[in-house]
Amino acid sequence: MKCIYVAGHNGLVGQALVRKLSARPDIKLLVAERSELDLLDQQAVYHFFKQHKIDEVYLAAAKVGGILANRDLPADFIYQNLQIACNVIHAAYQSDVTKLLNLGSSCIYPRLAIQPMSEESLLAGHLEPTNEPYAIAKIAAIKLCESYYRQHGCDFRSVMPTNLYGPFDNFHPIHSHVIPALMQRFHLAKRNNEPQLSVWGTGKVRREFLYVDDLAQACMHLMDMDTARFWALVSPMQSHINIGCGSDISIAELARTMADITGYSGTIHFDTSKPDGTPRKWLDSSLLFSTGWRPQTDLLTGLDKTYQWYLSAQN
């Protein structure tokens, strides 16, 4: 049986990967709580890898958050994400791990990148200032994987998911991303019979969203691909692959959809004194689609599934 380690198994992506991988009978799934393994501790990570004889790694561990968290904690975002990537990727090399999949973020692309954003857009312009430290850490992780491939022949792959949502998302009132943040606020506004709900920004910016179980399936699809086929798709210095759904939606449309999902009937106000972030984030996923993979969950279905999970988690 293959021993597969999922780093960051308690997060949104990690939970989805564990759900999907645990259904495979040929896999021994390995996870570790933060109390058991601190990914910021280089020696601890090295000893963990040596102890368990790991065959494959899904690197889904990261410090993540929305616009406010990135604005207020830039040093935490760049330091912790760099440290996690360096420790896990280097330990995988030292321990002769067969394959590693590094999960990044679409924020690696320039703020004003041509839409949809292809893999070639990486490092072609200035990053979005509100999350630049996080983006730089994620870019560094891609280049780490590429460098270990170029120098040592390590089959370390990178994928760049679009904005994700689903069960076990972070619903923190301050540090959450747009979908869980809006979902919780619309839910509370309905429960409290609030006549108006305020949404940050103009509502005009556009975002692409992918249901997290679809992302997990895409990751497994790419990891199951043999080495020769994967590296024939990419190049040694542009090796990451986008994972998106192929379409986007404005924040205003998303807010109206969220009102429908939660049953909120009040007025939606857009607070233009608050930042919008990047004008548009829509990935060109044609390279991935060319391999035969497509998402299975449309936005309305995914939001409804997520809201039902959120309601059950409140009980």
d(CA 236, CA 145): 10
d(CA 142, CA 284): 18
| 8 Å CB contact between 69 and 175 | yes
Helix, strand, or coil (residue 101): strand
Q: Where are the alpha helices (DSSP H) in 59-131?
A: 67-72, 74-94
Tokens representing 267 are 């007025």
Tokens representing 265 are 């009937």
Beta partners for 157?
101
| 8 Å CB contact between 146 and 157 | no
User: What is the CB-side half-sphere exposure of residue 283 using CA atoms within 13 A?
Assistant: 28
Give 289's DSSP letter: H
What's at 218, amino acid-wise?
A
d(CA 151, CA 136): 22
What's at 108, amino acid-wise?
I
| Torsion sign (Cα): 117, 61, 181, 309 | positive
Give 117's DSSP letter: B
Is 134 annotated in the active site? Answer: yes
Q: At what angle do helices 178-191 and 251-262 cross, to 10 degrees?
A: 40
Catalytic residue among 134, 149, 165, 264: 134
Helix, strand, or coil (residue 286): helix
Beta partners for 2?
27
Strand (E) or helix (H) holding 121: none
Catalytic residues: 134
